[in-house]
Every structure is written in structure tokens, then in C-alpha cells.
Structure 1
Amino acid sequence: MNKDTNEGKWKQIKGEFKDQYGKITNDESKEAEGKKDKLIGEIQEKYGKTKDEIAEEIKSW
């Protein structure tokens, strides 16, 4: 496992927490932020890319 893979797993956990926190507090922006973090974490874990590389790819979508 490389550093990016481990960081990706952590981002998924953090994203899931933000998503759930947003649902509990009715904060839609926090919920969306959590979903984005979770997506970045999943991509990072699977492909071993850096957060910046993934953010650039997402922007180009």
C-alpha cells in the first residue's frame, strides 16, 4: 500500500462523517462536502493518485 491509498481510506472515513453530520444538522453544504471527500477518497484508494490530481480530473468533468 502506498501513501495515497492510505490517505484515500482516511478521506472516505472523513467524508462519511461529514455526510452524516450534514444530515443530522440539516447542513446541505456539509453533506455535499462529505460526499465529495468520500468520492475523492475512493478514487485515491483505487488508483493511488494524489488529491490534487483527482481534484483536477473532477474539475474537468
Structure 2
Amino acid sequence: MDWNTVERNWKELKGKLKEKWGNITDDELDAIAGEREQLVGKIQIRYEIAREEAERQVNAFVRTIKPSVNVQAFLIRGGGFHDC
């Protein structure tokens, strides 16, 4: 999954983000709203790690995400939902 897909499906993925980085509050995730650089910065601050490490963690997280059925349908149909 690429970051654009993460950004488009931010609300759906918030639970997985919270599982991975529990020190980030729901309000902070709402404020981040899919902005990758904001997420990296928040992880860096909350976990007191280098920016490069925060970026590595975000990249690893994105690679592990399995799209839900709705996201898969969205991607398979070229980025748009259509009536079947």
C-alpha cells in the first residue's frame, strides 16, 4: 500500500495506527489527518527517537497494511467505486 492510499483511508486505519503507536492520542491522529510528515514528527517526539527511525517505522508500517475489502475494491476498480 502506498501513502496516498493510507491518506485516503486514514479514518479506517486509525485503529491500526493506535495499536502501533499507542502514545499518540486519538485527537492527535485526527489532527494529523493522513499527513505523513506530521505522523513522523509526532512519532519522533512521543517516542524520543531520531527522525530517520520514525520514518523507517512509518515505512515499515505502510508495507504491512493489508487493505480491507472496501479498499481492495477501490484499488481494483482503478480508484473509484462503481455499482456492480
User: What TM-score comes out, normalization by structure 2 length?
Assistant: 0.31
Larger radius of gyration between Structure 1 and Structure 2: 2
More helix by share: 1
Q: Which has the higher contact order (CA 8 A, sep 6+)?
A: 1
